[in-house]
Structure 1
Amino acid sequence: LGAIAASCKAQVVYLQDTRGALYNEQVEFLTSLFKERLPGKTVGFCGANNLQMAFSNSVTAIIEGANLIDGSVMGLGRGCGGCPTENLMCFLKNPKFKLRPVLVALQHHVQPMHAADDTLFGLGPTGCPAMPFLVAGTRNDDVSDAVAWCNAGMKHDGVRFLDFQRSKAKQFPTPKPKLIDEENKRIASTHVV
């Protein structure tokens, strides 16, 4: 971080929990560390929701001094999504943020899509992540395999997905699910649970 502070001209440094595997204590530590070691830089945070920690981790980052926080309506995003904008707005209690337009957009545009397809972004009817995303977050794995698993109609088969992730061969069951794209395959996971 010292080298970054000395040479980086960027004004913003973002903490990204891409795999949705961080807990509050880790976000607290990292945000504090970045604030301390990168003076004069704005610190931001973006949390993925594999372990249902995106909102809680975002609040922790705010408390520790992060000034830019990612969010999306109903938490929609890749895999299990991220921090719901509407939750952040309620937490911040800032009169300049208007909750009603966000809820109108959610009710009229997002909820109908979700009702039509409960596998939208890996979420089930309760809004909780499909089991493969939970497994990926617990193991700190990239979510591309979980996305492919869910796209193959196996989002409720978390046990088999865990076994699949633990296997060295990692051969998809027949028929092989279509992977999202080449970029999602570029990061090999090395974490073991």
Structure 2
Amino acid sequence: MLEKKGTILSVREDLKVFDCTIRDGGLVNNFYFSDEFVKAHYEMCVKAGVDYMEIGKNVSPTLMSEDEYGAWNFCKEEDIRRVVGENNTNLKIAVMSDIGRSLKEELRPKNESVVDMIRIATYIHQIPAAIELIEDAHAKGYETTVNIMAISKVSEKELDEVLEALSKTNVDVIYIADSFGSFYPEQIRDLTEKYLSFAEKSGKKVGIHAHNNLQLAYANTLEAMIYGASFLDVTVSGLGRGAGNCPLELLLGFLKNPKYKQMPVLEFIENYIVDLEKKLDWGYSIPYMITGQLNEHPRAAMKARDEGDTKYREFFKTISFME
């Protein structure tokens, strides 16, 4: 039986607040954030006591066009340093590597980079390539995490086999990724127990990356945390693909560790997010609810939102018969 890790008043030193605003938010605007926005966000993370900031993806420019995506889809070293300098702070910088879009040959050694962590995003069928990238990043001196995507679509046997394989690698953190925003807290609790059973035997941590299709991103993040997950993914105002993520300001308002400060986040929201909300579309809506309930990728919901389609009953019927 899985036991709770402390109480609502506990200060857990193992907890790490992981801000994904630029990376997950970049999926909303093709990573076209200005340097001013990213620098203000970086400074907010430092002041708020955030542990990690994911500044974007390190997609290879040979695989995706720099004419179609902003700088933070590629995270070249000079672009990152233009914002964070030498990053002489307690905040660690991370970038995400998508299997099939990032090339290990382009990843420089850690001692030549201001980046601290490489996050690998992978589907089940890409695990061999993910393990290869994990070991390469580890050998070059980086911390590593792995996000196994779309786990709501795979069998328990498949997931067990993948977790067993990952437990034997040098990855530091294995993430529960609720890719479609379809999980409920009880399911997250069970997944946390499963992931921990594989991770802890080899000294690894477990993280949670939630989406808000069912308005459960915050609840699911707390559920995973209470039962032992220690890396907690968040974004400012939930900014992220589709229904968005667990809001940073909500989590910081809950955590009892005095190192975390909520006011810098509220200041950033006032100065940058209020205006951004008028230009970009993200967060809970009926189409995202439907894809979450039916355990489907939100791409159809994103299309419906873009087209202003409010024929929700027809949308529900269409998604129901997608399989």
Short-chain TM bin: 0.7 to 0.9
- Quote the offset at 1:112 in angstroms: 2.1
Residue 29 (1) aligns with residue 29 (2)? no
Task: Name the structure 1 match of 2:218.
Answer: 55
Residue 157 (1) aligns with residue 319 (2)? no
Q: Deviations over 1:26-65 (max 9, x none)?
A: 1111111111222211100000000000000000011011
Residue 43 (1) aligns with residue 206 (2)? yes
Structure-2 separation of matches of 1:64 and 1:87: 19
Task: Name the structure 2 match of 1:140.
Answer: 295
Q: Which amino acid aligns with 1:62?
A: M
Contact 1:132/1:157 (<8 A) preserved: no
Contact 1:15/1:31 (<8 A) preserved: yes
Contact 1:131/1:157 (<8 A) preserved: no
Of 43-52 and 158-167, deviating more is 158-167
5+ residue gaps, structure 1, are 124-128, 169-189
Quote the sequence identity (%). 33
Q: Which amino acid aligns with 1:73?
A: V
Q: Deviations over 1:101-128 (max 9, x none)?
A: 10011122112222x24x612x4xxxxx
Q: Which amino acid aligns with 2:171?
A: A
Contact 2:294/2:320 (<8 A) preserved: no
- Quote the offset at 1:152 in angstroms: 0.7
Task: Name the structure 2 match of 1:73.
Answer: 236
- Counterparts of 1:1-193 in structure 2, within 5 Å, are 1-5=163-167, 7-39=168-200, 40-114=203-277, 116-117=278-279, 120-121=281-282, 123=283, 129-154=284-309, 156-167=310-321, 190=323
Equivalences, count: 159
Q: Which amino acid aligns with 2:314?
A: R
Contact 1:131/1:158 (<8 A) preserved: yes
Q: Which amino acid aligns with 2:311?
A: D
- Quote the offset at 1:97 in angstroms: 0.9
Q: Which amino acid aligns with 1:162?
A: F
Contact 1:45/1:66 (<8 A) preserved: yes
- Quote the offset at 1:72 in angstroms: 0.5
- Quote the offset at 1:157 in angstroms: 2.7
Structure-2 separation of matches of 1:95 and 1:4: 34
- Quote the offset at 1:134 in angstroms: 0.5
Q: Which amino acid aligns with 1:161?
A: F
5+ residue gaps, structure 2, are 1-162
Partner SS, residue 8 of structure 1: coil
Partner SS, residue 70 of structure 1: strand
Contact 2:237/2:248 (<8 A) preserved: yes
* Structure with the largest fraction of strand: 2
Partner SS, residue 206 of structure 2: strand
TM-score when scaled to structure 1?
Answer: 0.78
Contact 1:79/1:147 (<8 A) preserved: yes
Q: Which amino acid aligns with 1:2?
A: E
CA-based RMSD: 1.4
- Quote the offset at 1:4 in angstroms: 3.0
Partner SS, residue 69 of structure 1: strand
